[in-house]
Structure 1
Amino acid sequence: MRGLDGKISVIAGAAPGNIGASTAHRLSSEGAHIVVADLSQTAAEAVAEEIRANGGKAVATSVDLSVEESVRDMVEFAKEEFGGVDHLFNVAADLSPGTIGLDSTNDILSLPVEVWKRTIDVTLTGYMYGIRYAMPVMFERGGGAIVNTMSAAVWKAEAIRAAYASAKLGVEALTRHAAKVGGRRGVRCNAVAPGTVLTEALLRTLPEENRMEQAAQIPSTRLGKPEDIAAAVAFLFSEDGEWINGQTLAVDGGFTMH
């Protein structure tokens, strides 16, 4: 895709086998320089090493999106290592049993308040921190692009995952606000809304029977792969997507079409 070669892309949430890692690899293949950030320094280093082994340029750092200073340090790290930030992909989420696990087994009447707060802290406030610190750096460089991770699930009412859905729907509003703030100064902000994507984590936890049931609900021949989301993000970062701003792109095999 046009305009990705030599750009500096920060991936906030990029452990091996997930959407962030796949996006890091895709952007590297297009010539971008990658800052791999994850809650686990070890996980981030593993992805960066894979990219370097394939001839790309990548560095790794740890980040906790729930801590403002940690997000600020991630952006400063990108400036120190590569000289700035051109792209930010906010993709991290707390998928631990104590957070998404409890959110997935409770409704709003029984959900522990600490699970609600933790989900908002990471998936909504954390994304705001990333935008707050990365956007001014992009202004200094004459422009840039941000992509936030929403979820196709928010458009289908569920009796569980109230915190996750609320945070992700908030991400859509945050995306539009950031697009309005940054657009005139050359910084675009969009969101991707994945459907069911077969990440390594999902493959470990979702039985084959459930995968088949979900695949049968969509007008597509398969469930998603991390590479599907990575391709969408690369497009939105590229010059080919430069007239797209403030939008949410559903990448879900048609799940939300009906």
Structure 2
Amino acid sequence: MKRVEGKVALVTGGASGIGLSAATLMAKEGARVVIADFNEQGAASAANELKNLGLEVSGIFLDAGDEASIKDAVDFTVEQYGTITVLYNNVGVTNLKKDLDVVHIDLDEWDRLMNVNLKSVLLGSRFAIPHMIKAGGGSIINTASMAAFAGDATRSAYGASKAAVANLTRYIAAQYGKHHIRCNGVAPGLILTPAARNNMPGQILDMFEKYNALPYHGEADDIGNTVLFLASDESKFITGQTIQVEGGHYLSNPTIPDMQEMMADTGH
């Protein structure tokens, strides 16, 4: 039997990158999947490619900043496939030009990120949970970020929103566990999605790799496979957790890479 055979999954932000990886892996492992994305054409194209492989996948529009659009996505999933048993809340946005330190941050940008990154998780869960209760249970998975677990020089709103996602994950798990609904988070590090490869300066990529415990960056499937595990019954006794999939970036004393370089220079 495939790992998520019989499950019905809604993946938000599923047209590319991490979301597409998770949607693809779940579909290949037996789930019926709805890919929802602001890029409606991208969602439809991704769904069609998976349909050509004989998989049950639909692609629809989603504006994660709009309550009605989120409800429509959940309703579509239930109408199309009869229920919803997996919800992957994956949408997340940031703006490096506006999301700055706390003195200089654009306050409208703060509100936008809290709405899209955090409230969308609340609303997706709010609309999906009653259907999951009727179905006898389900799994909600939320994309947090390594930014949820440490301070940074910028991206104050992004980090705060993702930290709130990690805590909301615990609240949902505590409130609905007796209904056989699990809720977990995934906190990616720097993942080499097409967007990261095309837009991230090489100097930044090298900097992140230097401070990873592992000598390489993550790929989209590293997150997708974690989501697949959390969607499956293999993780049936795991709830309220946010799994950091970030190559050990925060694992050790931050001076270790510099210390290793110094020791190598002195022959030790």
- TM-score scaled to structure 1, two decimals? 0.94
Query: For the pair shown, which has the larger CA radius of gyration, 1 or 2?
Result: 2
Whether 1:207 and 2:197 are equivalent positions in the alignment is no
Alignment CA distance shift 1:176-1:46 (3 Å): same
Q: Deviations over 1:73-121 (max 9, x none)?
A: 00000011111101000111124xxx34421xx2111111110000000
User: After TM superposition, where is structure 1 displaced by more than 4 Å over at least 4 residues in a row?
Assistant: none
Structure 2, gaps ≥5 residues long? 253-268
Query: Aligned residue for 1:111?
Result: 105
Structure 1 residue 2 displacement after superposition: 6.0
Query: Structure 2 counterpart of 1:214, which letter?
Result: F
1:172 equivalenced with 2:166 (yes/no): yes
Taking the TM superposition and a 5 Å limit, the aligned residue runs for 1:48-127 are: 48-95=47-94, 99-103=95-99, 106-127=100-121
Percent of aligned positions that are identical = 33
RMSD: 1.3
Matched to 1:167, the amino acid is S
Match of 2:10 in 1: 10
What letter is aligned with 2:200?
L
| Other structure's SS at 1:147 match | strand
Give the secondary structure class of the aligned counterpart of 1:102: coil
| Equivalent pairs, count | 252
Q: Is 1:247 aligned with 2:241?
A: yes
Output the amino acid matched with 2:19: G
- Measure the CA separation in 2 of the matches of 1:112 and 1:202: 24
Aligned equivalent of 2:192: 198
Aligned to 1:23: 22
CA contact (8 A) 1:2 1:239 kept: no
In the TM superposition, 1:149-164 aligns within 5 A as: 149-164=143-158
Look up the match of 1:34: 33
TM-score by length of 2: 0.91
Identify the residue that residue 146 of structure 1 maps to in structure 2: 140
Once the 2 structures are TM-superposed, how far is the Cα of residue 153 of structure 1 from its aligned partner? 2.0
Larger relative contact order (CA 8 Å, sep ≥ 6): 1
- The question of whether the paired residues in 1 share the 8 Å contact of 2:147 and 2:163 is answered with no
Q: 1:94 and 1:23, CA in 2 relative to 1: closer, same or farther beyond 3 A? A: same
Aligned to 2:44: 45
Structure 1 counterpart of 2:158, which letter? Y
- C-alpha distance in 1 between matches for 2:63 and 2:97: 19
1:47-87 per-position Cα deviation (integer Å, ceiling 9, x unaligned): 11121122211001111111111111000000111111010
Gaps in structure 1 of 5+ consecutive residues: none
